[in-house]
Amino acid sequence: MAISKFDQHAMAATFAEAGERDTAQEMLRGAGTGTQRKQPQKPVAAKKPYLSTLVLGVLSLAAYYYVFTNEKLVTDVFTRGGIYAIWPLSTALFVSFIHGAFGSNLLSLLGLEAKKAH
């Protein structure tokens, strides 16, 4: 479908108003020929999060290892009450965040992504 000269000028004005001056000028240069010179863009491949997955996996394992190998210390500190109530809350938030971020990165490495809403 051919784009009329009027439509090309209208599109160029829209791009110029949006701050895309180079695109607008390119459209105006192609307005007289009836064709656009713009090359189709290749999709950019997303970088895989190898390093962050490794770091978060090691942190997750270290957190679980520390909690389970120091069971007596964890139980003593977490059951004191008072101001010490912050320890179980902060530990749960920390482990949850690290483990969740690791899981998300691992799924990305495996190529499993959520569907995007249209």
The structural domains of the chain, with segments of one domain joined by +, span 1-41, 50-109
**Alpha helix (H) residue ranges in the chain:** 5-17, 21-31, 50-69, 71-78, 86-109
3-state secondary structure of 33: coil
Task: Check residue 45 and give its pLDDT.
Answer: 74
Find out whether 60 and 103 touch, Cβ atoms under 8 Å: no
pLDDT of residue 98: 97
Q: Give the Cα separation of 6 and 13 in Å (integer).
A: 11
Give the tokens for residue 62.
């270290």
Q: Could you state, in chain order, the average pLDDT of each consecutive group of 10 residues for the chain (118 residues)?
A: 78 82 81 57 81 97 96 95 94 96 94 80
